[in-house]
């Protein structure tokens, strides 16, 4: 039985801790609710004045930020002017070195790639023209085969082939 009283005592302590935590949570939620109501009431009464105050502070802050940006820009321009174009020279040197390195690795330059792109575009255009011509000329080929001109060309070939065959026969009979 002694063990039962121990367990029941522990359970009541846990229950008290839970009740205390729930009570603290309830009080905290109530305070948050009241603070929100207070802020709402204050904004109703002081809202328009506070809004104008915030707008004025924003204008001041904007002017200071613009002045700081202008000053930073001036200092950068002065530094660039004082360097006497050293940055331009450095940039040009770096571009040349990178270009040489890429060339030694076999990487094509922009100019080479542009020339290649133009060549490919030209070849594509030629292929389109040939395909269009063959699509239009497909009927023309059939017509030329059925025309008399095509038969005239075919007839001499047939005669030449027939005479070559006759010559072979004659030679084989003579042997």
CB 72 within 8 A of CB 66: no
Distance, in Å, from the CA atom of 29 to the CA atom of 26, rounded to the nearest integer, reads 5
Q: Are 80 and 87 in contact (CB under 8 A)?
A: yes
**List of residues 6+ apart from 144 with CB closer than 8 A:** 150
What pLDDT is recorded for position 120? 93
Angle between helical axes of 148-174 and 110-146 (0-180°, round to 10): 80
What's 85's DSSP letter?
T
Residue with tokens 């939620």: 29
How far is the C-alpha of 175 from the C-alpha of 173, rounded, in Å? 5
Structure tokens at 43: 């904004």
- Extents of the domains making up the chain: 1-107, 108-148
What is the C-alpha to C-alpha distance for residues 24 and 111, in angstroms, rounded to an integer?
75
> For residue 116, what are the contacts with CB-CB under 8 A and spacing of at least 6?
108
At 158 the pLDDT is: 57
**pTM value?**
0.26
Residue with tokens 């690795």: 105
| pLDDT grade for 131, boundaries at 50, 70 and 90 | very high
Q: What is the pLDDT of residue 132?
A: 92
* Cα of 36 vs its chain's centroid, Å: 46
Greatest CA span in the chain, whole angstroms? Answer: 137
pLDDT of residue 125: 95
Pick from 6-10, 76-80, 115-119, 130-134: least confident: 6-10
């Amino acid at each position: 039985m002694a063990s039962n009283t121990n367990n029941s005592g522990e359970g009541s302590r846990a229950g008290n801790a839970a009740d205390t935590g729930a009570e603290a949570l309830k009080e905290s939620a109530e305070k948050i609710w009241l603070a929100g109501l207070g802020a709402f009431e204050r904004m109703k009464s002081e809202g328009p004045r506070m809004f104008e105050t915030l707008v004025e502070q924003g204008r001041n802050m904007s002017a200071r930020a613009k002045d700081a940006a202008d000053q930073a820009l001036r200092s950068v321009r002065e530094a660039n002017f004082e360097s006497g174009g050293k940055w331009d020279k450095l940039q040009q040197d770096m571009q040349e070195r990178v270009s040489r390195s890429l060339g030694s690795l076999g990487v094509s330059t922009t100019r080479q790639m542009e020339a290649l792109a133009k060549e490919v575009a030209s070849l594509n255009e030629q292929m389109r023209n040939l395909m269009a011509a063959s699509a239009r000329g497909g009927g023309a080929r059939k017509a030329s085969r059925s025309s008399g001109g095509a038969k005239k060309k075919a007839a001499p070939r047939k005669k030449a082939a027939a005479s070559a065959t006759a010559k072979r026969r004659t030679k084989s009979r003579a042997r």
